[in-house]
Structure 1
Amino acid sequence: MKGLLLVALCWVVTWPLSAAEGVIDVKSAFGVEETADRLQTVLKQKGMKLFARINHAQGAASVGLSLRDTELLLFGNPKVGSPLMRCEQSVALDLPQKALIWQDENAQVWISYNDPGYLQSRHAISGCDEVLAKVEKALAAFVQAAAGEDM
């Protein structure tokens, strides 16, 4: 019985950590809408295609539920995504790229996105280290520009 309690306690203590495995969170100096607008501008400037911008809070409100401000941007570039899919086609499950802009319970706004290293591990991508490094650098730059004071 003690062993079972120990296993249960370990699971409870580590569960929140595993829920965000492979997710990079970056604080934003702006509100959700402004952060999403800034990210959309950066993406356009860098030649990325914006496939969708989804306002989850509006969706929740449309069915009578409340949700803190939450927006999702789906974006990408076939010049980058296609080579990744050639290395391992299952990565298409996580493409196009996504950025979640959300407000936490303390009114702090965050931009969250998938860590390319996690996607490499998740999909057992091999032979694409150069492309993954490029993606990692680009995502970090896009997010920092949108979240920070300078643009």
Structure 2
Amino acid sequence: MKIKLLLFLFFINVSYPALADNGLVSTQSPYTVPETTAKLKQVLKDKGMTLFAHVKHSESAKEAGVDLRPTELLIFGNPKIGSVIMSCQQSVAIDLPQKFLVTEDENKDVWVTYNSPIYLAARHGINMDSEKCRSVIEKVSKALNAMVPK
């Protein structure tokens, strides 16, 4: 069983090189923040996901008199999948629904960042020996990676 977990973690490390120690996956987008956000919203719609909120942090910051580079957050999910993950370990609900953070850095590069489901599984002690739990975490990991505009 531990061999399966080690192989799984190796697969994730090789497949998602942008995964940082803090559990965030960041992928560069060739589009502007508004274009990237629009593309993500369309992908979510096409996949039948629920978009719970679109937070335009930089606009709110401007209203508060704070200068913030373009920063937008999409909060989304699918209860059919998220509920399965929560049934594996209920505490993961604190990190769900999933989010895409779209930002522009100081070099004007645009990034899409999200919480790695693998990291969330480890953080919440989800039993990756369970076929049900492992398969849904793998599925969500692959789906999130595929949704990011490249």
TM-score by length of 1: 0.82
Q: May I ask how many residue pairs the two structures share in their alignment?
A: 127
The residue that corresponds to 2:91 in the other structure is: 90
- For residues 115 and 97 of structure 1, what CA distance do their matches in structure 2 show? 9
> Which of the numbers 115, 126, 142 marks the counterpart of 1:137?
142
Moved over 6 A (4+): none
The residue that corresponds to 1:104 in the other structure is: 105
Tell me by how many angstroms 1:97 deviates. Answer: 0.4
Indicate how the Cα distance of structure 1 residues 85 and 50 shifts in structure 2: closer, same or farther if over 3 A, else same.
same
CA-based RMSD of the aligned residues comes to 1.1
- For residues 35 and 25 of structure 1, what CA distance do their matches in structure 2 show? 13
**Matched-pair identity in %:** 52
TM-score by length of 2: 0.82
Structure 2 residue 58 is matched with structure 1 residue 57: yes
- For residues 134 and 94 of structure 1, what CA distance do their matches in structure 2 show? 17
- For residues 44 and 64 of structure 2, what CA distance do their matches in structure 1 show? 31
What amino acid maps onto 2:66 in structure 1? L
- For residues 24 and 91 of structure 1, what CA distance do their matches in structure 2 show? 18
Tell me by how many angstroms 1:20 deviates. Answer: 6.0
Indicate how the Cα distance of structure 1 residues 20 and 66 shifts in structure 2: closer, same or farther if over 3 A, else same.
farther
- For residues 71 and 55 of structure 1, what CA distance do their matches in structure 2 show? 5
- For residues 37 and 89 of structure 1, what CA distance do their matches in structure 2 show? 32
**Which runs of structure 2 are paired with 1:2-151 in the superposition (5 Å)?**
21-126=22-127, 127=130, 128-143=133-148, 147-148=149-150
| Unaligned residue ranges in structure 2 (runs of 5+) | 1-19
